[in-house]
């Protein structure tokens, strides 16, 4: 079973959208994502979160376009 699982470390604190999107990219596979904001962008809100504002957006050291870049990177690294 572990051979069928994909684990990817990612920068910044994760929103639940990230693992759900990664799993949707590879249906039928188990997967996990993990992230830490220490020394990096801290929180990395999804593009949809930026208009809503709030603590995650106020303390994010990244732009909304980061979401598209990261999703593309995740897709390119999933087997």
Residue ranges per structural domain of the chain:
2-77
Residue-wise pLDDT for 30-79, tens only, equals 777 777 766 666 778 888 889 988 878 888 888 899 889 888 888 887 77
pTM of the entire predicted model: 0.69
pLDDT at 5: 67
pLDDT at 4: 65
Residue-wise pLDDT for 5-20, tens only, equals 666 677 677 777 877 8
Torsion of CA 57, 45, 34, 69, to 10 degrees: -130
pLDDT at 51: 93
Tokens 């504002």: give the residue: 53
Q: Mean of the pLDDT values across residues 21-30?
A: 80
């Amino acid at each position: 079973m572990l051979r069928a699982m994909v684990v990817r470390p990612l920068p910044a604190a994760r929103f639940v959208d990230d693992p759900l999107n990664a799993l949707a990219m590879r249906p039928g596979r188990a997967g996990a994502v993990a992230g830490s904001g220490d020394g990096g962008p801290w929180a990395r809100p999804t593009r949809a979160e930026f208009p809503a504002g709030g603590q995650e957006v106020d303390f994010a050291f990244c732009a909304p376009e980061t979401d598209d870049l990261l999703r593309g990177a995740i897709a390119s690294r999933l087997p």
